[in-house]
């Protein structure tokens, strides 16, 4: 749990990350935001989802990794990662980023459109001015299909102090 203090009139983003591994069917999760404002007290943020058994068989995309990990390898910092995204549907798909952690990384696609059975590259590059050693964030992609299907990809870096 991370504690944060804000001055009167300030604002911040709150990010909730839900890992669907181990869940099936309807799922509800919530988080409490505790306030020192005696008139508000606690604010409860809730989300609900339908976790399906095998997402690769019904969703139009296959993403090459379930999580993008920028953790150091053999003591060397990793600043850029590439992920393959394949269209397994029969329709051309257009992707756009609808949510990401501002200031953490730059996101680029090799192409915003993916033809059926083809794949593109998603490249993430860490912000060189990043102050946090370890973090857990995510990026959310939205498709141009009728359902406006969204995919969230966790992004993390774990730096262990010696």
User: Which is it for the CA torsion 18, 47, 87, 115, positive or negative?
Assistant: negative
Tens digit of pLDDT for each residue in 55-113?
A: 444 478 888 888 999 888 887 888 899 999 998 888 899 999 998 887 888 999 999 99
Q: What residue ranges do the domains of the chain occupy?
A: 1-53, 55-157
Give the chain's largest Cα–Cα span.
Answer: 56
Separation of alpha carbons 55 and 39, rounded Å = 43
Residue 1: pLDDT band (50, 70, 90) is low
Among candidates 151, 88, 149, 155, which has minimal Cα distance to 123? 155
pLDDT for res 54: 54
- Number of helical (H) and strand (E) elements in the chain, helices listed first: 1, 11
CATH 2.60.40.10 correct for 55-157 = yes
Separation of alpha carbons 86 and 89, rounded Å = 9
Can you say how many angstroms the Cα of residue 48 is from the centroid of all Cα atoms in its chain? 17
Question: Is 134:155 a contact under the CB 8 Å cutoff?
Answer: no
Does residue 127 register a pLDDT over 50? yes
What number is the average pLDDT over the span 18-24? 76
pTM for this entry: 0.63
Cα 146–102–21 angle (5° rounding)? 60
User: In a 3-state reduction of DSSP, which class is residue 160?
Assistant: coil
How many CB atoms are closer than 10 A to CB 26? 9
């Amino acid at each position: 749990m991370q504690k944060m203090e804000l001055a009167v009139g300030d604002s911040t983003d709150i990010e909730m990350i839900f890992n669907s591994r181990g869940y099936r069917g309807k799922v509800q999760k919530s988080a409490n935001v505790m306030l020192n404002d005696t008139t508000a007290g606690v604010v409860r943020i809730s989300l609900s989802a339908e976790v399906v058994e095998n997402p690769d068989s019904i969703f139009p995309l296959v993403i090459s990794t379930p999580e993008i990990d920028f953790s150091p390898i053999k003591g060397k910092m990793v600043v850029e990662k590439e992920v393959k995204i394949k269209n397994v549907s029969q329709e051309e798909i257009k992707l756009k980023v609808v949510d990401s952690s501002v200031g953490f990384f730059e996101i680029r696609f090799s192409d915003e459109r993916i033809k059926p059975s083809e794949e593109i590259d998603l490249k993430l590059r860490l912000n060189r001015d990043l102050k946090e050693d370890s973090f857990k964030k995510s990026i959310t992609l939205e498709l141009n299909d009728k359902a406006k299907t969204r995919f969230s990809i966790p992004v993390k870096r774990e730096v262990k102090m010696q």
